[in-house]
Amino acid sequence: MADKQEDNIDLINLVLMLNQNALISLGEASRFSGGKKNLNLPHARQTVNMLKAIQDKTKNNLTPGETKLVFRLLGELQSKYVKAAGLDRPGEVNSSNPKKDKIEAALDKFKTEDLAKILADISKKNENNK
């Protein structure tokens, strides 16, 4: 039996750093203590995309705690980006992928805890099929 996997503090710090950078770019936090808040959507989008890349590249290789952290922060940042970019207003965005939009809409109906459970179940099934 394999040893229990421990959280990687360097990965957690990287994810938290990217989260903070995205929040600064979304105007949710100031760059410096007492500084003014600025909105930089291209930088925010790039930072969110980096977190998504980390999630994709580390799939099935993270501890449950790391998985939960990345999943929650990415979901929160994506939601904040959509609002900051005005993409949450009906009728203003023409989608290039209606099938993906339907999947996204279905996922939006789930609570974060429910999605985490579904992902855990899928990971467990993948482990059993190896």
Q: What is the pLDDT of residues 42-62, one digit of tens each?
A: 999 999 999 999 999 999 899
Residues 38, 62, single domain; the answer is yes
Residue predicted with more confidence, 7 or 123:
7
- pLDDT at residue 130, rounded to an integer: 62
- pLDDT at residue 47, rounded to an integer: 95
Residues 87, 114, single domain; the answer is no
Q: By the 8 A CB rule, do 105 and 39 touch?
A: no
Q: Does 119 reside within a domain? A: yes
Q: Does 46 reside within a domain? A: yes
Instruction: Report the number of distinct structural domains present in the chain.
Output: 2
Q: Domain range for residue 112?
A: 95-130
Q: Does 73 reside within a domain? A: yes
- pLDDT at residue 23, rounded to an integer: 94
Q: Does 24 reside within a domain? A: yes
Q: Does 1 reside within a domain? A: no
Q: Does 3 reside within a domain? A: no
3-state secondary structure the chain: CCCCCCCCHHHHHHHHHHHHHHHHHECCCCCCCCCCCCECHHHHHHHHHHHHHHHHHCCCCCCHHHHHHHHHHHHHHHHHHHHHCCCCCCCCCCCCCHHHHHHHHHHHCCCHHHHHHHHHHHHHHHHHCC
Residues 77, 114, single domain; the answer is no
39 pLDDT more than 80: yes
- pLDDT at residue 2, rounded to an integer: 46
